Structures are given as C-alpha cells and as structure tokens.
Amino acid sequence: KKKKKKSSEKDYVHEDNDQNKNVKELIDGEDKLNDILNMNLTESEKAYHLVLKKREKQRIESILKESYRDRLQKFNDNLASLSEHFDIPKVGPG
C-alpha cells in the first residue's frame, strides 16, 4: 500500500516561519552592523559592509511596501508592453 500524503498545513506553517525569520533578520541586521564596526577591518572594508547592509535594507523595504496586487499589475503592464513576437500562438485543431 502507498502511504497517504499528509496535509499541506505544514507548508503554510513553514511559510509563516520563513516570514518571521525575515523580520527577525531585519532586527538582527542592526546587531550585525555593530559587529561589523567592532571587527578588525580597514575603513574601506567597514564602509563596504555598511553600504551592503544599507542596500539590502532598502531592497527589503521596497519589496515590503509593494502589495501583491501592485506587483501583479506591474507584471501585467510589462507583459502588455512586449511585442506580439513573444505571444504564444493560437493552437487549434489540425
């Protein structure tokens, strides 16, 4: 006999945990900045790491600002702007 597949509720729990981890990483990011500043790095290395963190924070904030509906609209606008060359041809009988 084949075993029955378990319900997909666990998948939803994992997704929620991933989102919580992302929020925790944002909070931990400030602690990481302090760690970077306290490490034995040159001034240019410290500046480089700070810029990386700043860009990552801006990228995450921009993603969080945009709702699903906005992202979907942006995607559809992009598809509409493409030429018909990229359209899937109609498939019919014979």
Give pLDDT tens digits for 9-64.
554 455 555 555 655 665 566 677 677 667 788 889 889 988 999 999 999 998 88
pLDDT one-digit tens code per residue, 54-67: 999 999 998 888 88
- Amino acid in position 21: K
Q: Which two tokens stand for residue 73?
A: 């609209």
Question: What are the C-alpha distances in Å from 58 to residues 18, 52, 63, 68?
Answer: 19, 10, 9, 18
Question: What are the C-alpha distances in Å from 41 to residues 28, 38, 54, 59, 67?
Answer: 20, 8, 18, 25, 39
Q: Which two tokens stand for residue 83?
A: 């030429």
